[in-house]
Amino acid sequence: MSYRAIEAGADGAFRLVERELTEPGPGQVRIAVEACGVCHSDVVGVHNLFGNHPAGTAIVPGHEVVGRIDALGAGITTWSGGQRVGVGYLAGPCGVCAECRRGDFVYCTNQPITGDTIDGGYAEYLIAPASGLVAVPEELDAAEAAPLLCAGITVFNGLRKGGARPGELIAVQGIGGLGHLAIQYAAKLGLRVVAIARGEDKRELALKLGATEYLDSSAVDPGKALQALGGAGVIVATAASGASMTPLVDGLGIRGKLIVLGAAGDPIEVSTSALLGGRTIEGSLTGSPSENEQSLAFALSNDVRPMVERVPLERAAEAYERMLSGAARFRMVLTTGAN
């Protein structure tokens, strides 16, 4: 039996191929993919930026995967055939390295990366370690659940690390694939949300998503504007720009936290006086399978959903380019027709 997959070659070009279906090994499951989100982090696997797979070999991208278990490898006792599951960026902790023994599964040093060290979800089938599986509620639409496994858990965990309490003023910088979800999560957590973006074109959407205030960073200094509102207890920075994050530090209240989610190529500049005033800067990277399940449960019960554009698997190259161009509103999702 064969199945369709999208391979990214050594040159980064996509091609639709037919592959022979293989059986999962010990500790693995095979998943019939229903949907897979197209995330900017897919660039890392497509172009093998970290050298995580042999140079010159093709890889199937994709790490926001939702589907059903199709086959079980030896030793799998806690999952069953037909069960609805997801796989995120981190494919599954090893359970034995120093970080895993401390319970810090996100920073497992032996963990495969979906769509980079192992083939991902731009395909009709995927083989993945059972240790990284996320149970996906039946009530969630596959195409809407898929982005929650990466973008969703990233902002959900970022907000929780900030430690803001209901009613506290927080800010979300950037209203894109991450930011439009961060506003929803924050509003449903009972926080007062200030949305920050360049220009006025996203004001209406930000308020509709749950923000109580909107700041146009091209017209006002966001740090000063936040201080005028009383100072933010937490600022979640999603835009991939250190320069745009720098002025946000001055918008933090005493003991406020800047949680960095956007991976930028340039640095954040901060004065020592800002840090001595009790402000902190912290990064946050995705989450564990159990945290992902908590994020999905919260999204389901509080009606948090990504805005998605659905594209058939065979049009993966088109969806990927639309994501790269910034034209997507806000998450591209590949569908296989399996659900």
pLDDT tens digit at each of 339 positions of the chain: 999 999 999 999 999 999 999 999 999 999 999 999 999 999 999 999 999 999 999 999 999 999 999 999 999 999 999 999 999 999 999 999 999 999 999 999 999 999 999 999 999 999 999 999 999 999 999 999 999 999 999 999 999 999 999 999 999 999 999 999 999 999 999 999 999 999 999 999 999 999 999 999 999 999 999 999 999 999 999 998 999 999 999 999 999 999 999 888 899 999 898 888 899 999 999 999 999 999 999 999 999 999 999 999 999 999 999 999 999 999 999 999 876
Closest by CA position to 48, among listed 59, 63, 37, 38: 59
Fold exhibited by the domain 152-283? Rossmann fold (3.40.50)
Q: Fold identical between 2-136+307-335 and 152-283?
A: no
Please give the pLDDT value at position 101.
97
Please give the pLDDT value at position 339.
67
Please give the pLDDT value at position 318.
98
Fold exhibited by the domain 2-136+307-335? Quinone Oxidoreductase; Chain A, domain 1 (3.90.180)
- Cis preceding linkage at 14, omega within 30: no
Residue type, 332: M
Closest by CA position to 90, among listed 48, 133, 127: 133
Residue with tokens 């982005």: 147
Distance of CA 26 to CAs 71, 77, 130, 240, Å? 11, 11, 9, 39
Q: Record the tokens describing residue 73, joined without a space.
A: 């490898």
Is 4 within 8 Å of 18 (Cβ atoms)?
A: yes
H or E segment to which residue 35 belongs = strand 28-38
Domain residue spans in the chain?
Answer: 2-136+307-335, 152-283
